[in-house]
């Protein structure tokens, strides 16, 4: 819940003694502060680059004024603000409870009565917002804090007067996908009135009742489409509550109730005192956090002495990307210590991220020795070392470690690198804890990871808020590289690009491709009618892989036969029979390894031994073990190399065998390359770079590694594929993956 102050953070601001950090993002930092009278406050401080924008100051002033105009007890009140300060700030009363998003993630969906009470109070809050002539426009679980006496609506950062259209662009989608109204999803700015907030409230309440957004999750475009066209998923919601939610979720704004009318309706629906409205496990979280706040000690004044590095301006925070030069800094003041009630219930001491590393490290020693004095130059590795992706995570950790050890062995090194490794177990919640620890460690200059898509998507905003470079070699979703993410680098083609070669095989055939692909069962073709199977168990991954193949083969004049199966399907016999009856003479499976194995067995049982393809998720021992002989002949495309079969990686492979006693696993060589790339950029920097400067330098670098050439689009961090591509093929033969080398690249004139 609360993080330590960084050495560059101020110790006080506008009469508030700062006790810690509540969060950091692309806009700035939110601090926990205390007045001389002992009242706690959440203080949002904006970073310098936004403060210099006159339009942003207009918006920030509007936020403060908007929040002050609302008098509901269920809206967090503003206690102070200065939009004209060098670093604009806004303070609100501090609520120690979790957000609704945190509570549902940790404790599961709320009981029906809790949801109805929540609905009544939030409807009352929105009624006051709308009476004040405002539209909130971002009603979501993260903007609702839970307290024993009721919820609190927060964050008027994008609220506006109902008739104000001057600042927001007419074609900009504003708000949070999954909790947007149809008019927001279609960027119909002129229609964004109070009914839009009511629709978002309906989405929020459905999430509270079920633990999932009513229009699903995944790619933003898909979410927006479902919001506009699909019916909400209210499965599992009791009949009385469902009757309240459906009118709120009407597509036509005119068909929705007003917030005031909804509040009155729920008064009749929920008689009695709302006391005890939350389940015990949520109340326990509130109590623990409240107790932690009571345990906060007084803080003695901290003097900003020249060169001490113990204090700085509010703008000089990790949120701005600026780092104070704290070389030679003395220890933090002895009284600047406070208790942190973490989401797991662990109590940690302040003083940076060091206190959490023992919990985040693996079983063995994962920290390379660092220089005895001065600031460390640390590269972090956030990986799944003990969860479902541990094979990939441990391979990357070894590749990174080998690169650091070789760098430190050089006599001409200008500094010593330290490797700090943290295990996120492939878990989204733990991934956030790891990311925040790396962000708060001022000596971490860049981070490699995470291993898989969901943790990566969960933490990219955390790293982005601190402009800490985050480079992933194995997460594949294209959602990671957007213009909104300022510090992420994708060191591989994304999932859409990684399946391009499959379309070439289907339309040209292996003999036309040549090389290793000219022989082998999987390389025959071309296909007259490819069968494409999308397994919804894999959600966005299945859509990205099979969807791209579908578009590419259609562009080459083929008419594929696509099928979609529900999540959890393992009995593929009927769908195989249907696809064969439709004339499918080749198959592409889009999904995870377990489903690919089940589909392979169904094809084998039907007697099919023709071309069978799958994207990278099947490149695992899980597929080989579960499919058995049915895996023989499958061709799988991926963005990782088999270093043992790549001549340019022979030196790396030999060094890996010597150091770890085994051949390198998938993505070990890519991790080795990325750490060497970071080290090379650091060597050429003029002194120790800030995180922001390092991010910019990495996005503009070109690095020839042992696996491929690495280059990026500076604006997004997207991977720029070298000539010849960066996707590779593997054929399952004799129970193992045979590396076929670079896969064919689809032509641009298709």
Active site residues: 138
DSSP string, 507-545: HH-HHHH-GGGGSSGGG----SSEEEEEEGGGHHHHHHH
Alpha helices, DSSP H only, in 582-685? 593-605, 621-627, 650-660, 668-684
Distance (Å, whole) CA 310 – CA 303: 8
Q: Omega of the bond prior to 206 within 30 degrees of 0, cis?
A: no
Q: How many residues does the chain have?
A: 750
Distance (Å, whole) CA 10 – CA 316: 9
Query: Exposed, middle or buried: residue 169 (CB in 10 Å: 0-12, 13-18, 19+)?
Result: exposed
Alpha helices, DSSP H only, in 641-710? 650-660, 668-684, 691-699
Helices 259-269 and 239-248 pack at an angle, to 10 degrees, of 170
Distance (Å, whole) CA 74 – CA 77: 9
Q: Are 110 and 279 in contact (CB under 8 A)?
A: yes
Distance (Å, whole) CA 630 – CA 644: 25
Assign residue 583 a region: left if phi > 0, alpha if psi is -120 to 50, beta otherwise? left
DSSP string, 74-124: TBPPEEEEETTSSS-EEEEE---SPBHHHHHHHH-SPPHHHHHHHHHHHHH
Terminal CA-to-CA distance of the chain, rounded, Å?
52
Q: Which two tokens stand for residue 124?
A: 């009352």
Assign residue 72 a region: left if phi > 0, alpha if psi is -120 to 50, beta otherwise? beta
Sheet order of strands, 16-24 included: 12-13, 16-24, 28-34, 40-46, 89-93, 78-82
Distance (Å, whole) CA 442 – CA 354: 11
Query: Exposed, middle or buried: residue 566 (CB in 10 Å: 0-12, 13-18, 19+)?
Result: exposed
**For residue 351, what are the CA distances in angstroms to 4, 10, 54?**
6, 14, 36
Q: Are 158 and 138 in contact (CB under 8 A)?
A: yes
- Give the DSSP H or E segment for 705: none
């Amino acid at each position: 819940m609360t993080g330590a102050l960084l050495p560059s953070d101020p110790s006080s601001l506008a009469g508030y003694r700062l006790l810690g950090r509540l969060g950091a993002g692309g806009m700035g930092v939110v601090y926990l502060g205390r007045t001389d009278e002992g009242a706690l406050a959440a203080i949002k401080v904006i970073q310098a680059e936004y403060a210099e924008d006159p339009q942003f100051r207009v918006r920030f002033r509007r936020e403060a004024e908007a929040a002050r105009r609302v008098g509901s007890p269920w809206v967090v009140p503003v206690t102070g603000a200065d939009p004209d300060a060098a670093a604009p700030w806004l303070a609100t009363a501090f609520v120690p409870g979790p957000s609704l998003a945190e509570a549902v993630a940790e404790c599961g969906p709320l009981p029906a009565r809790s949801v109805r009470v929540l609905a009544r109070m939030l409807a009352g809050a929105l009624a006051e917002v709308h009476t004040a002539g405002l539209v909130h426009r971002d009603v979501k679980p993260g903007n609702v804090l839970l307290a024993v006496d009721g919820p609190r609506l927060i964050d008027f950062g994008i609220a506006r007067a109902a008739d104000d259209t001057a600042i927001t662009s007419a074609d900009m989608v504003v708000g949070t996908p999954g909790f947007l109204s149809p008019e927001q999803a279609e960027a119909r700015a002129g229609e964004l009135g109070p009914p839009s907030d009511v629709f978002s409230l309906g989405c929020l309440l459905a999430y509270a009742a079920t633990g999932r957004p009513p229009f699903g999750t995944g790619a933003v475009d898909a979410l927006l489409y479902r919001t506009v066209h699909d019916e909400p998923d209210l499965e599992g919601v009791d009949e009385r509550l469902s009757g309240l939610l459906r009118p709120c979720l009407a597509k036509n704004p005119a068909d929705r109730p007003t917030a005031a009318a909804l509040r009155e309706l729920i008064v009749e629906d929920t008689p009695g005192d709302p006391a005890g409205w939350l389940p015990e496990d949520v109340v326990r979280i509130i109590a623990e956090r409240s107790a932690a706040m009571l345990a906060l000690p007084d803080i003695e004044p901290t003097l900003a002495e020249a060169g001490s590095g113990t204090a700085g301006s509010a703008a000089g925070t990790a949120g701005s990307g600026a780092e104070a030069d704290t070389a030679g800094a003395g220890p933090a003041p002895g009284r600047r210590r406070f208790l942190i009630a973490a989401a797991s219930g662990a109590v940690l001491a302040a003083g940076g991220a060091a206190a959490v590393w023992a919990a985040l490290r693996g079983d063995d020693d994962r920290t390379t020795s660092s220089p005895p004095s001065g600031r460390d130059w640390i590269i972090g590795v956030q990986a799944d070392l003990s969860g479902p992706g541990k094979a990939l995570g441990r391979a990357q950790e070894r590749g990174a470690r080998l690169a650091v050890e070789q760098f430190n062995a050089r006599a001409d090194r200008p500094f010593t690198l330290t490797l700090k490794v943290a295990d996120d177990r492939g878990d989204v919640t733990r991934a956030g804890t790891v990311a925040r620890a790396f962000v708060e460690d001022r000596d971490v200059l860049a981070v490699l990871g995470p291993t898989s898509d969901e943790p990566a998507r969960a933490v990219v905003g955390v790293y982005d808020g601190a402009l800490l470079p985050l480079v992933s070699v194995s997460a594949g979703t294209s959602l990671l590289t957007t213009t909104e993410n300022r510090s992420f680098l994708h060191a591989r083609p994304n999932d859409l690009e990684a399946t391009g070669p499959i379309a070439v095989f289907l339309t040209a055939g292996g003999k036309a491709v040549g090389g290793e692909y000219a022989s082998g069962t999987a390389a025959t073709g071309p296909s007259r009618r490819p069968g494409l199977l999308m397994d919804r168990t894999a959600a966005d991954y299945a859509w990205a892989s099979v969807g791209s193949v579908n578009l590419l083969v259609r562009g080459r004049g083929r008419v594929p036969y696509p099928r979609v199966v529900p999540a959890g399907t393992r009995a593929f016999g009927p769908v195989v029979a249907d696809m064969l009856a439709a004339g499918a003479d080749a198959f592409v499976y889009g999904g995870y390894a377990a489903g690919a194995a089940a589909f392979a067995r169904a094809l084998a049982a039907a007697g099919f031994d023709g071309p069978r393809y799958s994207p990278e998720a099947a490149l695992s021992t899980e597929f080989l073990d579960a499919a058995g002989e049915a895996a023989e002949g499958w061709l799988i495309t991926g963005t990782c190399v088999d270093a043992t079969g790549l001549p340019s990686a022979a030196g790396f492979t030999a060094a890996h065998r010597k150091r770890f006693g085994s051949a390198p696993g998938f993505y070990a060589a890519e991790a080795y390359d990325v750490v060497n790339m970071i080290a090379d950029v650091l060597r050429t920097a003029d002194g120790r770079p800030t995180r922001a400067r390092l991010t910019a330098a990495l996005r503009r670098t070109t690095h020839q590694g042992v696996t491929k050439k690495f280059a990026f689009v500076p604006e997004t961090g997207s991977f720029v594929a070298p000539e010849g591509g960066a996707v590779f093929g593997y054929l399952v033969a004799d129970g193992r993956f045979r590396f076929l080398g670079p896969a064919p690249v689809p032509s641009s004139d298709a």
